[in-house]
């Protein structure tokens, strides 16, 4: 194995490039925690308003999840930055509302501050974190721990299942059940896509080795993913310029 090939293999095994393990991470989460997420959604039925709160890449994840949830759940969802929640001080935030707080570390400063603000207002709080001891894990009323580096895909799956539970008993129950059932096919589809595209993706990457700036385009539910690719993959991990 050449030095460059060894470097690629180390990168694939690192937490910075989770695509190689994405199918396994999704499959494991759905098996171990899928029903618990749906049950949490059932417990949250009756909520009048739901807030999805995060920062950076975690907020991007929540923005994509909102596209799915808006098509499944009759309760209004709103995705916003942590400090936006506190600065706006919405009247709807309080008893009868639920707020989800997403943070990979569980200690993101603005997200923790927003969680504490929501608790003071009487809202039910749910943490969405990788796992381990953290402020959000300790202080939220309920916690979803996804236990992997799949920071974009697994939280979306978790929130989709929560939404399916929330939709039960409503006119969108069938839609929620359909989406939840479709998630079981996702790990296999991801695994197939990775196997089919891995070689071509590496070939394209080698063609771009001299590039110092990449433009990443996305619209609709893929716009938040484009943000994550531009900022967390290209700029933070590859360390070249990127424009969304």
Tens-digit pLDDT profile for residues 67-103: 999 999 999 999 999 999 999 999 999 999 999 999 9
Tens-digit pLDDT profile for residues 52-65: 999 999 999 999 99
Say what the pLDDT of residue 233 is: 82
Say what the pLDDT of residue 155 is: 96
What does the pLDDT average to over 5-21? 76
Tell which wins on pLDDT, 20 or 26.
26
Place of tokens 């749910």: 126
Contact 214, 240 (CB under 8 A): yes
What does the pLDDT average to over 168-191? 94
Say what the pLDDT of residue 205 is: 83
Q: Which residues face 143 on adjacent strands?
A: 127
Say what the pLDDT of residue 222 is: 92
pLDDT band at residue 114 using 50, 70 and 90 as cut-offs: very high
Taking alpha carbons only, the member of 154, 165, 152, 158 closest to residue 72 is 165
The mean pLDDT of the chain is 92
What does the pLDDT average to over 7-25? 79
pLDDT band at residue 118 using 50, 70 and 90 as cut-offs: very high
Q: In the chain, count of helices (H) and strands (E)?
A: 10, 7
What domains can you pick out in the chain, each with its CATH number? 3-18+188-243 (no CATH), 20-186 (3.40.50.10490)
Say what the pLDDT of residue 141 is: 98
Number of C-beta neighbours around residue 131 at 10 A: 14
* Pairwise CA distance, residues 224 & 104, whole Å: 16
Taking alpha carbons only, the member of 97, 133, 103, 134 closest to residue 117 is 97
Tokens of 166: 């929330």
Say what the pLDDT of residue 88 is: 94
Tokens of 159: 């929130």
Model confidence at 201: pLDDT above 80 = yes
Tokens of 50: 């739901």
pLDDT band at residue 202 using 50, 70 and 90 as cut-offs: confident
Model confidence at 16: pLDDT above 90 = no
């Amino acid at each position: 194995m050449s030095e460059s090939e060894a470097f690629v293999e180390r990168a694939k095994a690192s937490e910075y490039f989770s695509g190689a393990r994405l199918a396994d991470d999704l499959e494991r989460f759905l098996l171990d925690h899928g029903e618990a997420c749906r049950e949490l959604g059932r417990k949250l039925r009756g909520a009048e308003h739901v807030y999805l709160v995060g920062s950076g890449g975690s907020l991007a994840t929540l923005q994509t999840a909102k596209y799915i949830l808006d098509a499944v759940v009759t309760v209004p969802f709103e995705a916003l930055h942590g400090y936006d929640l506190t600065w706006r001080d919405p009247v709807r935030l309080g008893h009868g509302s639920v707020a989800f707080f997403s943070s990979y570390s569980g200690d993101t400063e603005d997200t923790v501050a927003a969680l504490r603000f929501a608790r003071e207002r009487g809202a039910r709080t749910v943490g969405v974190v990788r796992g381990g001891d953290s402020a959000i894990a300790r202080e939220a009323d309920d916690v979803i721990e996804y236990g992997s580096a799949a920071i974009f895909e697994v939280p979306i799956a978790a929130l989709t299942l929560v939404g399916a539970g929330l939709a039960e008993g409503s006119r969108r129950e069938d839609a929620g059940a359909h989406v939840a059932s479709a998630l079981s096919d996702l790990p296999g589809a991801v695994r197939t896509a990775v196997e089919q595209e891995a070689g071509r993706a590496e070939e394209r990457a080698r063609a771009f080795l001299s590039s110092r700036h990449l433009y990443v385009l996305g619209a609709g539910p893929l716009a938040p993913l484009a943000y994550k690719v531009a900022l967390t993959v290209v700029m933070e991990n590859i360390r070249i310029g990127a424009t969304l």
